[in-house]
Amino acid sequence: MIQDYFKSVFKCEPTIVAQAPGRLEFIGNHVDYNNGVVMGVAIDNRIYVAVSPRDDNEIHMASEGLRCRDSINLDQVKLQDGKKKFMNYPLGVLDALMRRGMKVPHGFNMADTSTVPSGAGVSSSAAIELATAYALCALYNFPLNKLETVLVGKEAENKFVGMPCGILDQGVSGFGEKDAIVRIDCKTNDFSTLPLPAGTYFWVFNSGVKHALVAGDYAQRHDACMKAADIVGKYDAKYTCLADASASVVMANRSRMEAAGAKIFERAKHVVEENARVIEMQEALKKGDLTAVGNLMYASHCSSRDLFENSCPEIDFLVEQLMAQDNVYGARLSGGGFGGIAIALTNGDFSETQAAAVAAAFEAKFGKKPNFFKTTTGKGAGLA
Ligand code: GLA
């Protein structure tokens, strides 16, 4: 219990407790920062953040899961190094809130507990950001609506931590609902939900591959997409972002993209085709056509593997193993990539035994067991 952990660390009761879930990217790989449409689900694994005011100017933080505890002064709200690194996501949120005008006349104690596996590709970072934002806004009486709270989380990543991510993770953690798929139009920040097809389940397989340079590779892909966006914008000013362009526009600009740098064309082709798949997904979900849903998931994976090149042999193997199983509609890489997780959408008959068989095949090939779990969808972030 978060309250017990908070009390054991700070010897007082928390005044506010907030929570936020982890997320799965359903489809729309690397489409968010290209201003297209993406979909994700909030999972019922969450981070809880509890806070209480202090009568000095210090920020004390403790994380049960990371087994870290440290403090800084209010005038030291900047990116931390070494053993204070675990404070960076909450500090990034505090920084974004202060930029928006939140007054912080005194320090605070903050503790977090988590059931979101960290480093597993389900965005524990967005969860800690959103839970922190809700807790601090309540503590300092600075009401923000849901969209603003989501944008604060994204700003913490973009400006404080230095990760050029889009809005998918924070958006799904904020707007998630039980049994629902969150759809985000990243150009207009329009959020809506679609019902998760009845009788379907997500299974998550963690490859255990943590790419040390994830942020570097991610930033490189981001950069290639921005170059491609620039090229289509010069071709016709009506294309204000890469997702505005169609596959034929990207084809028409192929030689310009190839002249601008290696693989820019392939990255752009992935983004525009993936964006089109998200729109098709919407139709398939509306019709309840689960075969089409599964095919789109797999097509998304193949494009990540071949065009965007953000998969890895471990994830490819998991996806192929899952696709070969009965009761699986579709499987794909989910999230930033370069390691992380594969997800499968299954019917209710997909069993623990089948999942264990996939894990055993993985172990036989790669010499290590992947963690796997079946998820339940859950509500979005807010006060607990
Ligand atoms: C990470 C980022 C998201 C999104 C995905 C890829 O999860 O944080 O913004 O770009 O990768 O779709």
Q: Mutation test of ligand 1: which of 35, 118, 169 has the most ligand atoms closer than 8 Å to its C-beta? A: 169
Strand bridging mode 108-114 / 328-334: unpaired
Give me the torsion for CA of 189, 160, 268, 314, rounded to 10°: -110
What per-residue confidence (pLDDT) applies to 121?
A: 84
How far is residue 108's CA from residue 129's CA, in Å, rounded to a whole number? 16
Q: Which residues have C-beta atoms less than 6 Å from ligand 1?
A: 25, 29-30, 32-33, 123, 165-166, 168-169, 335-336
Atom 2, ligand 1: residue with shortest CA distance? 165
Q: Using the mean position of ligand 1's atoms as its centre, give its distance from the Cα of residue 370 in Å.
A: 22
> Which residue blocks in the chain are alpha helix, DSSP H?
2-10, 88-99, 124-139, 146-155, 168-175, 214-235, 247-252, 254-260, 264-287, 290-303, 313-323, 352-366
Name the residue of 168, 221, 310, 341 whose CB sits within 8 Å of the most ligand 1 atoms, as the mutation to test its pocket.
Answer: 168
User: Using CA atoms, how far apart are residues 150 and 43, in angstroms rounded to an integer?
Assistant: 17
pLDDT at 117: 82
Atom number, ligand 1, closest to the C-alpha of residue 31: 12
Catalytic, 326? Answer: no
* Tokens representing residue 345 in the block: 């959408």
Q: In what order do the strands lie in the sheet with 371-375?
A: 328-334, 341-347, 200-206, 371-375
CA 265 to chain centroid, in Å, comes to 25
pTM reported for the whole predicted model:
0.97
Question: What pLDDT, on a 0 to 100 scale, did the predictor assign at position 212?
Answer: 52
Beta bridge partners, 113, equal 48
Residue keyed to tokens 């800084």: 72
Q: Interior CA angle at 232 toward 228 and 238, to 5°? A: 140
Is-contact 331 323, C-beta < 8 A?
yes
Taking the centre of ligand 1 as the mean of its atom positions, its distance from the CA of residue 34, in whole angstroms, is 11
Is domain 2-195 in CATH 3.30.230.10, yes or no?
yes
Distance 37 CA to ligand 1 centre (A): 12
* Cα 38 from Cα 127, distance rounded (Å): 18
CA of 218, closest atom in ligand 1: 11
Q: Closest by alpha carbon to 172, among 334, 22, 337? A: 22
Atom of ligand 1 nearest to the CA of 29: 12
Q: What distance in Å separates the CA atoms of residue 286 and residue 24, rounded to the nearest whole number?
A: 20
pLDDT at 227: 98
**Helix, strand or coil for residue 306?**
helix
Q: Which residues of the chain have pLDDT under 50?
A: 213
Question: What is the 171 CA–ligand 1 centroid distance (Å)?
Answer: 11
CA distance 223 to 158: 14
Task: Identify the CA nearest to 185 among candidates 262, 244, 268.
Answer: 244
For ligand 1, atom 8, the nearest C-alpha belongs to 165
**CA 218 to ligand 1 centroid distance, Å:** 9
Marked catalytic residue, from 32, 169, 179, 244: 169
Q: Which residues pair with 162 in a beta bridge?
A: none
Atom of ligand 1 nearest to the CA of 33: 10
Strands 180-185 and 190-195: antiparallel
- Structural domain spans, the chain: 2-195
What number of CA atoms fall less than 13 Å from residue 15's CA on the CB side? 11
pLDDT tens profile 162-187? 999 999 999 999 999 999 999 999 99
Q: Give residue 118's pLDDT.
A: 79
CA dist., res. 335 & res. 354, Å (int): 23
**CB-based contact 327:200 (threshold 8 Å):** no
Question: Phi and psi dihedrals of 320, rounded to 5?
Answer: -65, -40
Find tokens 């070969």 and name the residue. 324
